[in-house]
Amino acid sequence: MKKLLIFALLLLPVMALTAQERQRPAQPRQPGQAPAQMGQPGQTAEPQQYPARMTPQMTEFFDPPVKVIQPPAQVGMPPSDAIILFDGSDVNKEWEDSRGNPTKWIVQDGSLVCVKGSGVIQTKRKFNDFQLHIEWKAPENVIGSGQGRGNSGVYLQSLYEVQVLDSYDNPTYKQGQAGALYKQYAPLVNVCRKPGEWQSYDIIYTAPRFGNDSTSYFTPPRVTVLQNGVLIQNNVSLRGPTLYVGIPEYSIKKHGAMPLVLQDHGNPVAFRNIWIREL
Ligand code: MG
């Protein structure tokens, strides 16, 4: 009897511990901890990470590979995938007048020169998104002032003008000076060279997208311009087509790919080294 009592006393702490274990609430699962495994009796579950632990390779992709193109011999020259729009020779290969006829603009010493009264010229090709390089030169012999001095323009998709103007010491309204998105955005700085000196525009253009409404943009046209290598328009969103008079928003009309246009504003502005990359 005494032995039985001693055994019962020894058993009590063990029973108390077991009861305590049963009452303890389940611990919440920690991040990275495997969920409880309902394995067969005697089977040991493999510890798993949940969610799976990331490795560097999970964010390193190879396919499809980036297209390889040949870089230009020097900055400003066309890379291998560019479409050459004017290389100093035949203008009628890529350009025409607004009626589809040969242009009256002339090629002089490898430059394409606007002839007053001959009208705009446009590319035979139509474009959507692109990167454009174009070089231009205002006449060395300065005639006129303000908007009447070395005026031309690069019309993106025939509708949106990047102003070409001799803005070297030539005051005019700021949304109309060289590098302006005409009447919408003045350039960030005036980085014009003297008249008679060649200067460049590098233009990155994203065409507008249209939804069901054909008189408003789903996403507007966006334009970045570098003049002589300097940023002068930083991804600006256009309000609508370029207008001399009026509100751009009221003139929005759904369109697709359109030609590039160079403006005849009555001044003998010259162009050269024109190339474009479709994006
Ligand atoms: Mg103009």
All domains of the chain in start order, with CATH: 93-278 (2.60.120.560)
Q: Distance, CA 266 to ligand 1 centroid (Å)?
A: 10
Q: Residue 122 has what pLDDT?
A: 98
Q: Greater confidence, 28 or 224?
A: 224
**CA–CA dist 3, 13 (Å, integer):** 17
Average pLDDT over residues 242-268: 98
Q: Distance, CA 101 to ligand 1 centroid (Å)?
A: 22
Confidence of residue 50 (pLDDT cuts 50, 70, 90): confident
Res. 123: pLDDT tops 60:
yes
Element (H, E) at 10: helix 2-23
Q: Residue 38 has what pLDDT?
A: 46
Q: Distance, CA 265 to ligand 1 centroid (Å)?
A: 6
Mean pLDDT, the chain, integer = 89
Res. 236: pLDDT tops 90:
yes
Residue 145: strand, helix, or coil:
coil
Q: Residue 40 has what pLDDT?
A: 56
**CA–CA dist 178, 191 (Å, integer):** 9
Q: What is the pLDDT of residues 59-116, one digit of tens each?
A: 999 999 999 999 999 999 999 999 999 999 999 999 999 999 999 999 999 999 999 9
Half-sphere exposure of 147 (CA within 13 A, CB side): 12
Q: Distance, CA 177 to ligand 1 centroid (Å)?
A: 9
Res. 25: pLDDT tops 80:
no
Q: Distance, CA 155 to ligand 1 centroid (Å)?
A: 9
Residue 159 is given by DSSP the state T
Q: Distance, CA 152 to ligand 1 centroid (Å)?
A: 4
Q: Distance, CA 90 to ligand 1 centroid (Å)?
A: 24
Confidence of residue 14 (pLDDT cuts 50, 70, 90): very low
Q: What is the pLDDT of residues 26-42, one digit of tens each?
A: 455 555 554 444 445 55
Q: Distance, CA 125 to ligand 1 centroid (Å)?
A: 22
Q: Residue 42 has what pLDDT?
A: 59
Element (H, E) at 13: helix 2-23
pTM of the shown model? 0.82
Q: Residue 124 has what pLDDT?
A: 98
Query: Hey, what amino acid is at 138?
Result: A
- Starting at the edge strand found earlier in the chain, the sheet holding 121-123 runs 95-97, 121-123, 261-262, 152-156, 160-164
Contact 233, 185 (CB under 8 A): yes
Q: Distance, CA 160 to ligand 1 centroid (Å)?
A: 11
